[in-house]
Amino acid sequence: MCGITAVAGPGDEDVVDVLLGGLRNLEYRGYDSAGVATPGDGGVSVVKREGGIDDLASALDAAAVAGSVGVGHTRWSTHGAPTDANAHPHTDCDDRVAVVHNGIIENYSTLREELLARGHSFTSDTDTEVVPHLVAERLAAGASAAEAFRDTVARLDGRYAVAMVVDGEDAVYAARDGSPLVVGVGDDRRFVASDVPSFLEHTADVVFLEDGDVVRVTADDHVVTDADGRRADRDVNTVDWQPEDAERDGFDHYMLKEIHEQPAAVERAVNGRITAAGGVDLDGFPPGSFGDVDDVQIVACGTSYHAALYARQLLAERGVPTQVFSAGEYATTPAPVGDDTLVVGVTQSGETADTLASLQAAADRGARTLAVTNVVGSTAARTCDDALFIRAGPEIGVAATKTFSSQVATLTLLAERLAEDVTGSVPEERAAVLRALERLPSDLQDVLDRAAVEPLAAQFRDRDGHFFIGRGVAYPVALEGALKFKEITYEHAEGFAAGELKHGPLALVTPDTPVFAVFSGRHDDKTLNNVEEVASRGAPVVGVASEESTDVVDAVDEFLPIPDTHPVAAGVLANVQLQLVSYHVADLLGRSIDKPRNLAKSVTVE
């Protein structure tokens, strides 16, 4: 949530258009206002607006702002309503300092009261505004910009990322503590941003900052120091993403593009990890890597939580004791762990605040930690004992699609490795599971090539509610299908374990409540019984199952086929059909599909 972008360019270059481009590339993170600031010799120029980037661009045209250094921000409101005044950047009383900020400053009330008592005045309701005023005080006391920034950051409590420009300085100052920041290293300019796509069209060479880092960025250099002011060496990495990965490539929405990218994403997740002899070869995890593990705990949020439930099902079937926790709950009430407990954090961004807090709580209590994430260099990848990457590439749409498929594929391979190491034997189903994973990219493409959900979407676009049910691995798919539907259509949707319908939810079933029943090829007879329960009450039923499932075809009103495969892969295929249903219903309703209201891509506050 929120997006920071900043650039330091050559002295004769105007970077405002680069800042706007960076902000557009961060729109997927979710926002309700935007702004930019550029320093000069007579003060800092700030233009900011409630609304979208286009509103900001129009205001910038009218203001004729220019500069070779600048910061920009897309705000997702926490303190104060989405207004022009509350939009970032924020300045001090004399407009010498401009600051943008992600996260929450927990002690801002105390700091604000101190500043008010010393004669400062405020123009917003935000926690951020205390920062430029604190910096200005230190500048007035004779400190350099670097000293003033470092002293100010040291006074902040909470989780944050901050970037600053000061009049008369051709530099950007930035710091992070719990919220992501990355430096982009170009040929003649440097960038600071919340995420790589902000500047990917300019450079793929990046430096991931760590908690406590402070950086000074100029056009031709960057200097990173740690929390104590000592020079910190941070490696320059080249991300394996291409600029076109962050473009729509002719699709109407990023979400639709990313749904169609799933065959390639899963291919990357699986590639090189299945040996010719039918074994599992995970990067850095040879056989025996988890031989000292007795039990597994998985922590995650949202879509990643559903992928975690999928993995728990596989591990349970293979005899590995496994629990799944919502990271927001685990962070405040951790489960008992021991030296033989493996805690796996599943997080697309590697920056999800609740998941990071859960992993830290587990590590503090002696557990081994493993991050399953999409982002090399993310906080989760750096701070956990180990990391396993899903290789999905950048995902711009707020509603996760290809990352779910890649997480499930990667977690399936991890489950196979864990099962062998923990139980001391190769799972009986391994050969069949690995064959299904190898076929999964082509099976996904088959679903996409033959999908025809538009008529069904038109049929179910205006209903009282939408239920999604399943058993085994189909249960987390039902949860994910319901989540995707509510995220982008804004219509009521709920997912249930199929057997739970008769324990309460059945009271809500009417002829105006379509039920999407997911079949994996395992326990289908029981799910068919639940289909009969809702059908007898007049509910229309949509079945998602193997095209060879004649019993399902006969029992449902509408049928969405998937290729016949192993149950482990069937859930991923069924999920694609449900993604397409959600997408087309949302499109018919005119929803903001890539940027659904109130939601953010990377949730970096608890």
Catalytic residues: 2, 601
Residue 196 DSSP one-character state: G
Q: How many CB atoms lie within 10 A of CB 553?
A: 14
Q: Which residue has the tokens 């209201």?
A: 597
- Select from 263, 282, 406 the least CA-distant residue to 347: 406
Q: How far apart are CA 373 and CA 406, in angstroms?
A: 10
Collapsing DSSP to helix, strand or coil, 126 comes out as coil
Q: Which residues contact 159 (CB under 8 A, 6 or more apart)?
A: 103, 104, 177, 178, 179, 353, 604, 605, 606
Distances (CA, A) of 192 to 5, 9, 214, 580: 6, 12, 12, 35
Helix then strand count (H, E) for the chain reads 18, 24
Within its chain, how far is the Cα of 185 from the centroid? 24
Q: How far apart are CA 133 and CA 99, in angstroms?
A: 10
Sheet (strand 90-91) strand order: 90-91, 97-105, 158-166, 172-177, 214-218, 221-225
425 exposure class (CB count in 10 Å sphere: 0-12, 13-18, 19+): exposed
User: Strand pairing partners for 542?
Assistant: 516, 558
Collapsing DSSP to helix, strand or coil, 565 comes out as coil
